[in-house]
Amino acid sequence: MPKQELRGGWALVTGAGARVGAAIVDELAHAGCHVMVHHCANESGARDVAERVRFAGRKSVVLQADLCDREALRSMACRVIDVAGGSLTLLVHSAACFERVEPSGLDSDSWDRAMALNVTAPYLLTLALVEALKKARGSVVAISCVSAIKPWRNYVPYATSKAALWHTVKGLALALAPDVRVNAVAPGVVMLPNDADPGTEQQLVRRIPLRRIGEPGDVARAVRFLAENDYVTGQMIAVDGGRILE
């Protein structure tokens, strides 16, 4: 199978201080990548993740930036290019605004927050790093969501922004080919909120054909697949246990 070699290359994972982003970093380190670990406010988590990368024998750098701040985004992109020596193998957009907004609470602010981090930031960061990605003939993987296809009632701004992200992925895949591939992973329920009760978990499991809640590693392995297979672009893999089929 055609394969993009990850070993020895540099990757940037945004929102990588915890949960799915951290699992993606772990998977990439296992694949032999050096990894830049981005966070906005979770410095301790990001440093722990970076330490695991170093323990695996790879290089790691922690980067802090508010990706909704365009100047901060541009500054971080310059730092990424410097660390990677101008050649970036993989860019993973994992940072996201996941905000529950019930129909009675829908407003412009929640819409703006979702669009800023979930769509605009990945678009601008990709453009800022496109030359480094071209030099490595690398790829971009965005973490979308199954709600991009089937929206959720209490997450209208979030689901809409993830649908926009998916369309952005397809557009960039066309615009940047053949030098850079752009794909997406759409998780379903892969982690429950910390305050979720057993009843909520049981209700969700009954709606998933594979009858289990997913794990961050399930998403991370899909990211690695898309990063390594050099004949896939403009695609989205749903990692949701089949829930999207119902």
Share of the chain above pLDDT 90, in %: 90
Residue 1: is its pLDDT beyond 80?
no
CATH number of 10-245: 3.40.50.720
Say what the pLDDT of residue 218 is.
Answer: 98
158 noted as active-site residue: yes
Better-predicted residue by pLDDT, 198 or 242: 242
Length of the chain as a residue count: 246
Q: Residue 174: how many CB atoms within 10 A of its CB?
A: 10
Say what the pLDDT of residue 193 is.
Answer: 67
Give me the DSSP letters along 192-212.
--TT--HHHHHHHHHTSTT-S
Are 206 and 163 in contact by the 8 Å Cβ rule? The answer is no
Q: How far apart are CA 183 and CA 186, in angstroms?
A: 10
What residue spans define the domains of the chain? 10-245
Q: Which two tokens stand for residue 31?
A: 């694949």
Say what the pLDDT of residue 195 is.
Answer: 67
How many contiguous H segments (helices) and E segments (strands) does the chain have?
9, 7
C-alpha distances in angstroms, 129 versus 25, 77, 81?
19, 6, 7
Residue 138's SS3 state is coil
Q: Which two tokens stand for residue 77?
A: 């992109």
Q: How far apart are CA 196 and CA 178, in angstroms?
A: 44
Q: Which of 123, 155, 158, 231 is catalytic?
A: 158
Q: What confidence tens digit (pLDDT) does each residue in 4-28 have? A: 899 999 999 999 999 999 999 999 9
